[in-house]
Structures are given as structure tokens and as C-alpha cells.
Chain A
Amino acid sequence: MTNHALGTEVKRKDGALKVTGKAMYSADVRLPRMAYATLVLSSVPAGKIRGFDSAAAMAAPGVIAIVTHQNALRLKDPGSMATGGEYAEKFFPLQDPDIHFWGQYVAVVVADTQERADEAAALFRTDYEREKFEVDLEDNPTHVFEPKQGLGQKLQMERGDFAGAIAKSEAVVSQTYRTSYVNHNAMEPHVTVADWTSQGLTIYEPTQWVMGLRSVVSKALDMKAEEVHIISPFVGGGFGSKGFAWPHTLAAAMASRASGRPVKLVLTRAQMFTSVGHRAPTRQEVQLGATKDGILTAIRHDTFTQSSIKSEYTESCGLATSMLYRCANAAITHRVAHLNTGTPCPMRAPGEAPGTFALESAMDELAEKLGLDPIDLRIRNHAEEDPEKKRPWSSKHLIECYNRGAELFGWKERSKEPRSNVQGGEWVGHGMATATYPANKRDGSAAVRLFTDGHVVVRSATHDLGTGTYTSLAQIAADALEMPVDRVSCEIGDSLLPPAGVSGGSSTSASVGPMVHEAALKLKKKIEGFASAAEAAASTGKGFIEAEAETGKLASAAATLLKKGPSTHSFGAQFAEVRVNIRTRQIKVSRFVSVIDAGKIMNPLTARSQIQGGIIWGIGMALLERTDWDYNLGHPVTRNLADYLVPVNADIPDIKVEFTDYPDMEFNSIGVRGIGEIGITGTVAAVANAVYNATGIRVRDLPLTLDKILA
């Protein structure tokens, strides 16, 4: 039997469960004697809690407990990435009277029903001493710092002699680009069901990192890691906002402790705009210097962005700029203002999504200045090796992406002159941009079990965020064991399983996939010589026979990015067509083509969905998404999905996706790279460049709404 499942379109193993409502999400969990918690939020952006009036709330029907900083458990150091789990917020709420942002948790009200908890929370009164606050990045913030690194990457880089090279450049583009404050807004809200008994603490919560959550929770609550059990079989979208641990998990645990009951805490949609991360707004200054033939001689990318008062999390816009094009002289900087907001966190292609908007818009501007085709300019500056790390690529087929994308899109037929392609009262415009995202992998482990009835279970404490992990891991095991994929299922999303790292940074397939492959090969060897599966499984006396695999030295909750050998990145080319109503300037993306070079594609069906989802996200970031703030009051005014605009079906055209599908065998044993994030990269710039081609108006400030092209 030959390799069958990998590379073929296998329907999602969890699809039927999800469409029939049988998939048990965390908010669906009901436990005996379960109580319900409601959060009380700070209504000032900075200050101190003077006191509470909780009498009415405490006397309200059904109230069991109210947790505030006056009676809460004292929490301990939650550790960090390096110790196995990251706590996103850099302070604990409910520990002191300090208020750092509007929407910070000041109390947790626990009652016997959700409605009664909500009612009591509305009766709870907090008296604040207000202090001065800063929330506007563009209003000369006081506290600004220069981060050395972010998510393990250097954030200040210089190679060659930028100043000397830019002075000698024959053509220069120098522009400022801005991106907006945006929220992840996964369909499923953040939820914790915490059940703290004498046996330990069980937490049901959608998370991208069960082992990391266990580490943070156990450390913060001063428990042994084994005393905390995280259960997270289904995640209704994470996009980075469920990667690191947030305070609500600890609040739910404290509420369970205080009430002596299991407690369910479901964040409201409005709370998701303030307390579980966001992508910070950015102001990016990009300078490109080139010869008259379009050879890049100097690149500068200065990012100014914001974080919260205590956090140094940085939207790392310049990272892609450091490696995307061949250029001897480059300067990349990041500066960050501490503002009175909730803490930002990774959001689908953190850094690369806003960063490639700026860089790839600037490249479009340079191409126009030089009279070069935008694809030609990019090919002239193609990087044959990683120009920052000075290392070869593990596998790169970007030029093929440009050429194939141009062919699929009909790039040659485009009209180069803005406003020259008029059809039915609309300007038609075409734009393209390069996509790129690092190929990451982390430590991980997996086990594969064969049962007496012949079915196989893959086990790993990894996650399926709607990405297709349940299916792809089964495909890998099926091929290694040479058996049909429908005999294989997966157990994931549970901290009792073999440890794995965070499902973030597009790393799950490349980290866990090879472990599943190796474990399955070991299992195959183990069962050689047995007459049947039943006999092999029975030989252990446990009803199954098992093999395991893990990378080198495995921390209990693996976090580290592995960074040896060649430089590993995925690439792609994005092509957008837009139509702009000449009178009303309404913008519509009418066609999109994407060609992606991301290693071996395990399941074209789910892979296409991933890339299309990224592109839809990019179209939303380009044209619609923005959390609006009231800078006078110090809080976001957009806190619902009627006012926070994400694309609807009417906004999304046919999206054609193709993959180069070259296995990256330098990267890992199955040649795969993650694809969760690359789809968004380049998309925003492709749309903005197309709008420029349509209208002749260059918008450098997202979202690109029609009011910016009315002139």
C-alpha cells in the first residue's frame, strides 16, 4: 500500500460534530452545582479604587460570593514563555486597588444563575480616584521605550550603512503608513469553567496552549502542575487571542475557590474588546532607496506602536522587511508607547500583517516612481538567501508564485494608468503584493495507539482552532501506518496528553506533525511480526499498543522556537482586483488570486480554507476593521459586532488559491510548514495597491474607507 491520505482532500473529521451541534465547546459544559460569574469592569481608564459599595449586590437573590482585591487569593508569579507558559497581562487584577485601563476587572460576582449574577453585578458600585491617562498613540505619549526583542526576535537591527546608501540612492520613496486598533473577535467568546476541589483544579477553556495555561494557572495559584487539568477539545477561533493566559481564567478559579462550587465565566462580546488582547495600532515610516534600474540599495522601517502600561508586547512590523528583499543596507527599529489600554497580543500574522501593508505599499510606490512593473521590481530584488541572517532558505519558490499568480490573474492585461479602466460607472484597479511568514516549529511530542479492534488514536496536547488539526494528524498517522485515514482519530486539547507547544505562529503542523509521523513509524515497527492488529494490541495487556515520539529535550510545556539550520519562511504572491464606484467611492474587492509556497500541502481542502480565511481577514483589515476609541473618555466605543465591521459574504469575491506544494524536507521529516497566518500577509497591500490603481489615490492609513478616497 502506498502513501494515500497526505496531499489529498480529506473532509474534516470534526465537521459533522460541529455542524450538528454535538461538539462540546467549553461554554457548553454543565457541572453539578455549577455557579455563574459576572465580571465588574472599571469605568475609569486610570486611577485607584477608593472603595466598594457591595451591600445591594451581596443582598441580591442568588448571590454566593463577590471577589475583589480586598478578599481575593494572593496570586504568585505566573512565569513566562521560558518557564512553560505566558501570562498575557503583566499585572494581576483583583490584587490591588490600581486601575490601569478602562474595562479592567474590579470584581467577580458569583450567583446561582447567570441572570442573577448579571443583575447583582449591575448593583455593585465602585468608587474611584481618577488619575491622568493616555490612550492616543498620535498624541505624544509620555512613556516610550525601545524594545530589544519580541517573541524571541530582535526588534532593532542594522546592517550595512543605511544613511550612506540612502543619500546615494537614485530613487527614494519615503512615506508613513498607519494601521488601526483591531480586535480578534473569534466567533466563540473566551470562556472558563473552573472546578476547584480538594482533588485539584479542572479548567474547561478554549485555548491555543493547554500546557501553557496549565503552567500559568498552577504557578499563579501556587499549585503543582499535576494538580491542574486543562480540557479544551474545541476552540471556536483563536487567532492569537487564546494563545497566552488572560486574567479571566484566574478570576474564574478564584470564584470557584470562594464559592466552593464549579463556576462558569463567559466573557460578553463587549468585554472581548477590552480584556483579551488586540492588535495595537501602528505608525510606520518606510524609506526605500534604489538605483534607477530598481535595485534596492537602502531600506529603513521604523515602527511606532503601543502597548499597555505594564506590558512590552510589541507589534513587530519590521521583521518581514528585514528579510524579504536583497538589500545590503537596512535599518529596522521599533518604539512602543505605554498607554492605558488592555494588553495587546499576537493577532494572526502579528507584525507581518501590518508590516507587509507598509512595505508592500512602499514597493508599489517605488515601482511607479521607476516606471517598473511591480512584479518585475520584486523579482529584481529577489533574495536568494536570507539577507539578515545570511543563511540559505530551506526551500523557496517565490518567483514561481509571482509568475503563476500573474498568469491566473491576467496581470499582463491590467491597465497601468490609474482611473483608466472604467466599467459601468466604476474604476477597476489591480494590485499585487508579496506574502511572507516565518516557518516556525517548537518542541512537541505525540503518541500513537493501535487498539484491538484495529482503530488508531493519535494523542498530543495540541489543538484544532478550526484549522484542521484533527484531520491532518490522522492523515499523517494513516500514511505512516499504511492504513485508511478513516480508521484513525485524534485526542488533542487536554493537558494529560503528551505535551506540545502553543498553537501559534503557524507552528502546529511542523511541530506535532513530524512527531506523529515518527511515533506512527515506531508503532509500525512494533507491530511487525504480529498476525493482526488485535494480536499486537492484546500483547500489551492494556487493550492497545503504543509508540511515542518527542523532540530532543522536551520541557513540560514546550514553548521555544527552534532556530537552527537554514532560514525557514513561507512565501506567496497576492493579487487583488477592486471596483470603486466613481460617484460614491464604495469599494468592492471583485477578484482575488493567491499562490502560496508553504511546503508540502497535507490537505488541499482545509489548506485552501486556511488561506481564503486569511485573505478574508486581510480584506477586512484593509477596508473595514477598526476599534474606534473616544480619546476624551479613554475607552473604545466600538464594542459590538454591528459597529465593528468584519467582511460579510457580500464583501468577498471568488478567491482562487493555488499552492506550489514543494515539500520542505530541510525543515522537517514530512516537509510541511504552517499556513495559518500567511494568507493575510500581503493581502492588505494588494487591496490598497489595487485601490490606488483604480482611483489614483494612495491611502496609507487603514482602514481604507470610502471617505479617504472622496477627493
Chain B
Amino acid sequence: MNRLAYMPAQTLGTALQAGTDDGVMFLAGGTTVVDLLREGVFTPKALVGIESLPLRDIRVDGEWTTIGAMVSNSDVAWNPAIKAMFPVVSQAILAGASGQIRNMASTGGNLLQRTRCPYYRDLTSSCNKRSPGTGCAAIEGFNRGNAILGTSEKCIATHASDFAVSLVALDARVAVSGPGGDRDLAITDLHRMPGDTPERESNLKPGELIVAVKLPHAALTRRSLYLKVRDRHSYEFALASAAVAAEMRDGVYGEVRIALGGVGTVPWRARSAEGLLKGKAPGELVHQAAADEALRDAKPRRHNAFKVPLAKSTIVAALNQLAGVT
């Protein structure tokens, strides 16, 4: 009998203490963990409930806006300060999941949500992410939803989060606490590309817990948006999405940020494409050039080759909208 202990924590200290044991997982909103427990993908010995921890504030200080790890996705998306200062974040969240799921899902949990690659959930199929060393059924199998950027011969699973894509565009940081103390890391350092160890999805150390997401205040964040393309118009993961933000000076681009969803094994930052735009006037052709650059290293598979042109169109559409190019 697979016994599963549930230990609700009242303080961060007790959560961290309980979280150091082998086979223990943190449980926040439960929208990923409970699902995968029921599928038999996760088989922890114990769950440490962190839903009561005092991590439910959104604070706007001088240089940072800090979102507690247990703030629900809905509360982030509808927060007036977030909507005004970081429209891309609000839009990204509202483009994902459903109202019910957003009400339950937490800020920290969203970043660590697992892939929707069907083989990851199918215990009868091989999957290096779920069962290291068994192989990747997706590479030669059904891979319409899989990634084209950041893949390896071991794994082509797409990172599913929209929220994380918006954070990557904004150079957000992630505050974590753990047995070794507190630290904070760039959001782009949180997720790991699969490489040879697709089972290791983040750079969190054992027992570490995300306690907050920090958004740096910058001029460009207010001019930002999220564009998501998918087969149905709500409650679906991205086929391709783009989070864009830009600073404009005298009709030319200053700093530009482009991040992509639905196409990468991690929330994907397209830095070289950003570099192409700096100093240029917005326009269809430069946006096309940036989009081509962003997808230059794409490695399409049998069923997802369409994501290359689709992601490019998505980037162009997002930049055009941002810069008012018609």
C-alpha cells in the first residue's frame, strides 16, 4: 500500500524542515501535483502543505514588485498594480488554464508546472523525464505539441507555463528559501534545458522552496503584451506564444524583450532577436528579421514543423501590436 502523508505547515521554518526529507514534495494549489499523483507519475511519501504560509502578498517597493509564492494566479492577474505596470504578466496568466484553475494555482507552483507531453503522463510509454533512461517516445512518436527550441536527444517536452514566459521577458527574479538559507536567482536560471538529464527540471536544490517572484521596475514593462496562439480560444496550452516588451526612444527601439512559449523546453528568451531590434524603427521587415533570428536554431520534428512559421508569425504579430505597426 502506497501510504501518502500530508503535513500542512503553518510556518516557513516548519515547511522547510519537513521538505528536506527524501520523497517529500511541497503542495501549493495542487493543480499539477494532485493530477500527477492520481496518474501515478508522482509517487512521493509525503506532501508538505504550504497553502497556509504567509506568502500571499503583492508588494510594490521602490525597485521591485514582489509577488508571494502562494498568491493565486487569479489574484496576480487581476491586481491593479500588476495590470498597470506589467500588462504582459496579467495577460499571460489570463490566457492560460480556466478560471477555476487560476483560482487554485499558485505563483510558485505555476513556474514548476510539468509538461503536457502525453508520454510523461502515460506510464506504459517510455519517458526520460518521468523514468530516466527509458527513452523518449515523443521524438519518433506523436509530437505536435512538443518543443522545437532547447531540445535534446533525450527529451523534447515543452514547458507549459504562460506566466513564466512573461517573467522571462521581464528579467524577473525568483526568491527561494531552503536548508542552506535564502537566495535569489534570475528566472532564466530557474528552469533547466533537458540535455542529458531531463528529469532535472529546475536548479532548485533539494528542499528549496520558491517564496516569491520579484519583478524589477523598468520603463519598458508598461509597454508589454502577451500574444498566445492555440487551437481553441480558451483553456488550452499554447502552440506558440510571445511575450514582448519594449522601450521606444524617438521612434526607434531602445531595449526590447522577446520571450516565447509553446515552443521551448524552457520558457524561451530570444536574446539575439532582441539585439537585432535595438536602435531600429519598428516595422514589418525588422520584425520579420527578429522573428527569423529567434527561430534560427529551431529543430522541428514530424508533427511540429508548423511551429516554426507559427512562432515567427506570433512574434511579428506581437511586435506589430506593441509598436502600433499596421
Contact = CB atoms under 8 A, between A and B. Distances in A.
Contacts of B125: 630, 633, 637
A433 to B, nearest CB: 22
B94 to A, nearest CB: 12
B257 to A, nearest CB: 20
Nearest to B310: A710
Nearest to B126: A633
B119 interface: yes
A19 interface: no
A43 B306 contact: no
Nearest to A586: B229
B314 interface: yes
A642 B230 CA distance: 13
B203 interface: no
Contacts of A651: 232-234
Given A583-B316, A637-B118, A628 B144 contact: yes
Given A637-B118, A706-B231, A629 B142 contact: yes
A648 B118 contact: no
B251 interface: no
B100 interface: no
A51 B246 CA distance: 64
A198 interface: no
A122 B40 contact: yes
Name the interface size band of chain A: 35 or more
A583 B234 contact: no
A707 B310 contact: yes
A130 B137 CA distance: 18
B239 A706 contact: yes
Contact of B234 (A61, A637, A649): A649
A645 B1 contact: no
Given A586-B229, A588-B233, A43 B124 contact: yes
B314 A710 contact: no
Nearest to A62: B1
**Which of A623, A630, A639, A705 has the most chain B CB atoms closer than 10 A to its own CB?**
A630
A633 B141 contact: yes
What is the predominant secondary structure among interface residues of chain B facing chain A?
Answer: loop
B316 A650 contact: no
Contacts of B1: 60-61, 119
Contacts of A28: none
B116 A642 contact: yes
Contact of B116 (A584, A586, A643): A643
A630 B231 contact: no
A628 B233 contact: no
Contacts of B234: 648-651
Contact of A650 (B40, B118, B144, B232): B232
Nearest to A116: B1
Nearest to B118: A637
B74 interface: no
A628 B232 CA distance: 16
Interface in A584-642: 584-586, 588, 623-624, 628-630, 632-633, 635, 637-640, 642
**Which of A583, A648, A650 has the most chain B CB atoms closer than 10 A to its own CB?**
A583
A648 B142 contact: no
Interface in B80-115: none
Contacts, number: 86
A630 B239 contact: no
Contacts of B116: 642-643
Interface string A237-280: 00000000000000000000000000000000000000000000
Contacts of A566: none
Contacts of A710: 306, 309-310, 313
B135 to A, nearest CB: 11
A454 interface: no
Interface string B116-143: 1011011011000000000001001110
A632 B232 contact: no
Contacts of A583: 313-314, 316-317, 320
Contacts of A642: 116
A647 interface: yes
B310 A706 contact: yes
B124 A637 contact: no
Contact of B232 (A585, A635, A648): A648
A424 to B, nearest CB: 10
A583 B315 CA distance: 10
Contacts of B124: 43, 633, 635
B129 to A, nearest CB: 15
B235 interface: yes
Contact of A706 (B119, B140, B229, B235): B229
A119 B2 contact: yes
B118 A638 contact: yes
Contacts of B229: 584, 586, 706
A648 B235 contact: yes
A427 to B, nearest CB: 14
Interface string A70-96: 000000000000000000000000000
B196 interface: no
A26 B144 CA distance: 37
A584 B231 contact: no
A637 B122 contact: yes
Given A637-B118, A707-B310, A624 B231 contact: yes
Interface string A31-69: 000000000000100000000000000001100000000
Interface of B: 1-2, 40, 116, 118-119, 121-122, 124-125, 137, 140-142, 144, 227, 229-236, 239, 306, 309-310, 313-314, 316-317, 320
10 nearest CB pairs, A to B: A707-B306, A650-B234, A650-B233, A637-B118, A583-B317, A43-B124, A630-B141, A584-B229, A583-B313, A648-B234
18 contacts: A60-B1, A581-B317, A583-B313, A584-B310, A584-B314, A586-B229, A623-B232, A633-B124, A633-B125, A637-B119, A637-B122, A637-B125, A643-B118, A648-B233, A649-B234, A650-B232, A706-B229, A710-B309
Given A43-B124, A633-B137, A643-B118, 4 more contacts: A628-B118, A637-B125, A643-B116, A706-B231
